[in-house]
Structure 1
Amino acid sequence: MDKNFSSMIFFLTLISGTLISISSNSWMGVWMGLEINLLSFIPLISNSKNILSNESSLKYFLVQVLASAILLFSVIMNSIFNGMNIFFYNDYIFILILNSALLLKMGAAPFHSWFPGVMEGLSWFNNFFLMTWQKIAPMILLTYCINFKFITYIIMISVIIGAIGGINQTSLRKLMAYSSINHIGWMLSSLFISNLYWMIYFISYSLLSLSILYMFNYFNIFFFNQCYNILNFSPVMKFMMFFNFLSLGGLPPFLGFFPKWLLIQNLINNNMFMLTIMVTMTLITLFYYIRITYSAFMLNYTEIKWMNFNYLPNFYMLILNFSSLFGLSIIFFIYNLF
């Protein structure tokens, strides 16, 4: 009971820390909100009974403290050089330092080395927050001081690292980590258009991540061989899980294609040269998602009967997977209706 109560308190302060950061009108307030968020997340991910969880929490703490120190350094130095008016950036180097600190906090490439290692030791619930909620504050703060030329290179490096790093992975947590790095590149590119497109992409990505991580947590799956063996008892669940992979990779007609479609269309209109690399790297991610799905249905498929009523999905799993797989069709239906 005490553990549940303390977890709820830390969860509320985690949310409040992010809200303080994105609503603050000074960089010192931003820094304090980020520290509140960090000190709330560490107790949630640490577990005295799991040495991997403690190792991940220590890695996360050290990286985030380093990023906060760099951010604070850039803010203080910039305020000294610009007469305490910290919202006007006249010095190019301080913008790069501040952007680098925020990119390190969210785990974008080439500051990504800590991200797969931290995810490997956490539960799926904590991984979901690390992949989604913990990226909100750095992403929004980046819009206050963004250097578009620098971010263009970061986008290309992120999509390349996220695509290549996921090849030949056997751990689902590391695969989701590199997938998250790839999606960071797409989310950063949405900042070139508007915050609305970033919000659409982030909400879609969060929904897709929740649907697939909920299934991993429900079946206690962490490696691919577990997917192949356990889900043979329920072909319906196997169908939904691996089609969620395809949705996460952005294959039409699933929901994951919708935010990528919007970004591709708008980036073409803005003549963004990085779009070619982004689409090419997305095809690489789709390659290993399709390879995994093909292996699951054709090579490692041993169940003869399609329906197994002992392993039908529960209500929440059914709703999440239905929205993930058929959300694009629903959006088109509503659009044509009105």
Structure 2
Amino acid sequence: MFNNSNKILFVMIMMMGTMITVSSNSWLSAWMGLEINLLSFIPLMSDNNNLLATEASLKYFLVQALASAVLLFSIILMMMKNNMNFEINSFFTTSIMLSSLLLKSGAAPFHFWFPNIMEGLSWMNCLLLMTWQKIAPMMLISNTNIKMILFFSIILSVIIGSLGGFNQSSLRKLMSFSSINHLGWLLMALSINEVIWFIYFLVYSFLSFVLIFMFNNFKIFYFNQMFSLLFQSKVLKFCLFLNFLSLAGLPPFLGFLPKWIVIQQLSLNNQYFMLMILLMTTLITLFFYLRICYSAFMLNYFENNWNNMKIFLNYSIFNYHLILSFFSIFGLIFISFLYYMF
């Protein structure tokens, strides 16, 4: 539908909209940045050759337009309260605003649209939806001060994100429920400290990029494709499944680092109930990731002899996979070594 130069232009406009929202000093300008971000991401999603992508872009537009309308309504109520001395409960307006921002980010209980839209997108658009599109609403969530609703959303996000990953044959749906689970951790990190949120977001974005880089290069969308293709390369197979475990937060991989920081801060702040919920749901997530990876890690695992499908590895791309996987798998060890050195 668009050539590469147009796509680059839309990506730049999308980033500009996010920057406007993050750097704005009023709610109205933040809302304008969100709209610029939305209208520039829709053309990237739609594709005339893929009806699922077009349907996903339409669903995304409707959901985000609804969230933007509710956000604008809450902004108007807040301006009427501040400038016209209207008797409006501030808790009510802030709750509406927080709910609209949670809907925009895809956090539970407003997550219903996220897995369905992810299923119809390409892997690069999935990466943008899982990472960059969460920056602006989460920065606005940090400006609200209703902890009760935020903690309720965190608990639901980690529970739904962990339980939703069971019995999934689609990798895009699995990544979407994993994103909902990580979104609960991100909101928890945001409620503690923005620096901790930034570290968590950087690590999560990197790990998601490593996995999606592999899936996109080999055009893998379902588990049966992954087992039939990647078993041709033993090194690639181990890298992929170790990256899965790193994304799940299993030590000693890099994905455990931000969760380690959040666990430490929660224990220092005596928030043991939230810590217990987060750890229990992470164990559930680790269970189904380990169930996927268990057969691949067995040394005496017998593969199908009738699988004659051969893949021709581009060795430059293969080397990129190995380098990215190296940082994902051994990153925590190097960070710990540098910490004790300096």
1:12-44 deviation per Cα after TM superposition (whole angstroms, max 9, x unaligned): 000000000111111110111000000000000
1:111 aligns to 2:115 (yes or no): no
Unaligned runs of 5+ in 1: none
1:142 aligns to 2:141 (yes or no): yes
Q: What is the CA–CA distance in structure 1 between the aligned matches of 2:46 and 2:270, rounded to whole Å?
A: 45
1:130-155 deviation per Cα after TM superposition (whole angstroms, max 9, x unaligned): 00000000011111113111111110
CA positional deviation for 1:166: 0.4
Letter in 2 for 1:265: Q
- Residue 209 to residue 111, structure 1, CA distance change in 2 (3 Å): same
Partner of residue 94, structure 2? 95
1:167 aligns to 2:166 (yes or no): yes
CA positional deviation for 1:2: 6.3
Partner of residue 332, structure 1? 336
1:187 aligns to 2:186 (yes or no): yes
Matches within 5 A, 1:150-229: 150-229=149-228
Partner of residue 48, structure 1? 48
1:131 aligns to 2:120 (yes or no): no
1:23 aligns to 2:27 (yes or no): no
Q: What is the CA–CA distance in structure 2 between the aligned matches of 1:57 and 1:283, rounded to whole Å?
A: 34
Query: Does the Cα contact within 8 Å between 1:82 and 1:90 map onto a contact in 2?
Result: no
Partner of residue 283, structure 1? 283
Partner of residue 324, structure 2? 320
CA positional deviation for 1:6: 1.0
Please give the secondary structure, in 1, of the residue aligned with 2:191: coil
Matches within 5 A, 1:47-66: 47-66=47-66
CA positional deviation for 1:301: 4.9
1:270-317 deviation per Cα after TM superposition (whole angstroms, max 9, x unaligned): 11121101100000000000000013344975289xxx9964553332
Q: What is the CA–CA distance in structure 2 between the aligned matches of 1:289 and 1:224, rounded to whole Å?
A: 12
1:10 aligns to 2:14 (yes or no): no
Please give the secondary structure, in 1, of the residue aligned with 2:231: helix
Please give the secondary structure, in 2, of the residue aligned with 1:192: helix
Q: What is the CA–CA distance in structure 1 between the aligned matches of 2:35 and 2:180, rounded to whole Å?
A: 23
Letter in 2 for 1:322: F
Partner of residue 232, structure 1? 231
Query: Does the Cα contact within 8 Å between 2:229 and 2:311 map onto a contact in 1?
Result: no
Partner of residue 294, structure 2? 294
Query: Does the Cα contact within 8 Å between 1:233 and 1:303 map onto a contact in 2?
Result: no
Q: What is the CA–CA distance in structure 2 between the aligned matches of 1:137 and 1:164, rounded to whole Å?
A: 27
CA positional deviation for 1:66: 0.3
Partner of residue 34, structure 1? 34
CA positional deviation for 1:84: 6.3
Q: How many residues align?
A: 333
Q: What is the CA–CA distance in structure 1 between the aligned matches of 2:184 and 2:330, rounded to whole Å?
A: 25
CA positional deviation for 1:164: 0.3
Q: What is the CA–CA distance in structure 1 between the aligned matches of 2:196 and 2:84, rounded to whole Å?
A: 33
Q: What is the CA–CA distance in structure 2 between the aligned matches of 1:316 and 1:149, rounded to whole Å?
A: 44
Q: What is the CA–CA distance in structure 2 between the aligned matches of 1:6 and 1:245, rounded to whole Å?
A: 33
Query: Does the Cα contact within 8 Å between 1:48 and 1:54 map onto a contact in 2?
Result: yes
CA positional deviation for 1:336: 1.7
Query: Does the Cα contact within 8 Å between 2:253 and 2:328 map onto a contact in 1?
Result: yes
- Residue 84 to residue 30, structure 1, CA distance change in 2 (3 Å): farther
Partner of residue 269, structure 2? 270
Q: What is the CA–CA distance in structure 2 between the aligned matches of 1:252 and 1:284, rounded to whole Å?
A: 15
Superposition RMSD in Å: 2.1
Percent identity for Structure 1 against Structure 2: 55
Query: Does the Cα contact within 8 Å between 2:249 and 2:255 map onto a contact in 1?
Result: yes
Letter in 2 for 1:226: Q
Letter in 1 for 2:229: I
Letter in 2 for 1:123: S
Query: Does the Cα contact within 8 Å between 1:258 and 1:328 map onto a contact in 2?
Result: yes
Q: What is the CA–CA distance in structure 2 between the aligned matches of 1:155 and 1:36, rounded to whole Å?
A: 28
Query: Does the Cα contact within 8 Å between 1:13 and 1:36 map onto a contact in 2?
Result: yes
Please give the secondary structure, in 2, of the residue aligned with 1:59: helix
Please give the secondary structure, in 2, of the residue aligned with 1:233: coil
TM-score by length of 2: 0.93
1:161-181 deviation per Cα after TM superposition (whole angstroms, max 9, x unaligned): 000000110000000000000
Q: What is the CA–CA distance in structure 1 between the aligned matches of 2:327 and 2:261, rounded to whole Å?
A: 18
